[in-house]
Amino acid sequence: MCNLSICIPTYNRLEWAEKTVSELNAVADCSFEVVIVTEPTSDKRKSNQYWDKYNVNVRVFENEARMGFPKSILKLADLAEGDFVLFSSDEDFIESDSVPWLLETIENNDEVTRIIGGADHDVDEGKYSSKEALMELFWSQYHLTGHLMRKEVIDTSYAAQYVPEKQNALGPYIHQVLATQAMIAGVTLCTERDFWRNGAEQIHEHEVSYSIPEARVRQCCERIERVIPDLINDPSMKKHLLNEQRKRAATLLLRTVRSPRRAPTVLRIIINEKSIVRSAAFWYSLPIIAGQYIIRQSKNALCYGSKHVCSSI
């Protein structure tokens, strides 16, 4: 019996995934597994026999050709044999002492379809209905690691429509689409317990860039144009979530305006992203967010000035 599948996609970094397995080796309970999907590699760790030295049940699957991150996520979800799927980036770590708690929680809460740990939410600990979870937690957990959901309520075939046609194109995050399906299907449990920790310091800065303004605004528009209309049936909920994403787009646009060099980028966003530019919620949010930013910057300048004066006395 497998209650939990820890699913790790990787691209030529099986040695990093092994660090997570090594930490989990101390867990006595055997009702969980680790599933790894790797892009084509010559690494000896792609052999399942390599992992026999660990107490953990590890299954490794090598893609015949490069599939890209979103398709690997969906493949992992399909291959998982656990009642719950816990995704983890290869550079992060699942806390071994949290696994027994997760297994017990999964076994004793049949109505729960999604679990969110302390680092990934800012709401009170407890259980949230589908509507409450969507209102408070929709698309709040960006990072792959820590996404934990009941397998039987997610539909990977449906989610596949959101995979970008071109590899490395930035569409809606597939793991968030799956998480939204899980929130809609049942109860979301929020806990103060952190069951993973960030290992991103392993990555050199030149390897990953998450700060492309146009791509971030495009993601907002994907949620506005496709994800929310497709997944959310309740009209009031749909309206609320759409307006929240338009505010998010306004925030991203204002962050881009900070530098005069990015004026062409801002212009391209305004021209191309009709779904937000035509929205009253977007334009209503702009002056409010701009005012908040100016106040925050003024406070920072005052604090800096006070410290500078104090240090010069």
Please give the average per-residue pLDDT across 104-131, as a whole number: 92
Q: Which two tokens stand for residue 59?
A: 């299954």
* In the chain, % of residues over pLDDT 70: 87
What pLDDT score does 75 carry?
97
Q: List the chain domain ranges.
A: 4-202, 213-312
Distance CA 58, CA 11 (A): 17
Confidence label for 265 from pLDDT (cuts 50, 70 and 90): confident
DSSP 224: I
Whether 37 and 75 have beta carbons less than 8 Å apart is answered as yes
Sheet strand arrangement including 187-190: 57-62, 32-38, 4-10, 84-87, 148-150, 112-116, 187-190, 126-128
- pLDDT, one tens digit per residue, over 13-31 is 999 999 999 999 989 788 9
- Residue 189 has φ and ψ, to the nearest 5°, of -105, 120
Whether 137 and 188 have beta carbons less than 8 Å apart is answered as yes
Please give the average per-residue pLDDT across 247-274, as a whole number: 75
Residue 135: how many CB atoms within 10 A of its CB?
Answer: 16
Confidence label for 212 from pLDDT (cuts 50, 70 and 90): low
- Tokens 């989610």 belong to 159
DSSP 258: T
What pLDDT score does 259 carry?
63
Q: Which two tokens stand for residue 74?
A: 């969906």
Confidence label for 204 from pLDDT (cuts 50, 70 and 90): very low
Whether 38 and 10 have beta carbons less than 8 Å apart is answered as yes
- Compute the mean pLDDT over every residue in the chain, rounded to the nearest whole number: 85
Distance CA 40, CA 45 (A): 12
- Which is more confident, 127 or 167? 127
What pLDDT score does 206 carry?
36
Whether 74 and 44 have beta carbons less than 8 Å apart is answered as no
Distance CA 132, CA 106 (A): 20
CA proximity to 31, closest of 109, 102, 120: 102
What pLDDT score does 304 carry?
54
Residue 179, pLDDT > 70, answer yes
Kindly report the CATH number that applies to the domain delimited by 4-202: 3.90.550.10
Residue 203, pLDDT > 60, answer no
Residue 235, pLDDT > 70, answer yes
Confidence label for 123 from pLDDT (cuts 50, 70 and 90): confident
- pLDDT, one tens digit per residue, over 284-311 is 777 776 777 677 667 766 665 555 444 4
Cα–Cα distances (Å) from 254 to 66, 271, 278, 290, in that order, read: 36, 16, 17, 7
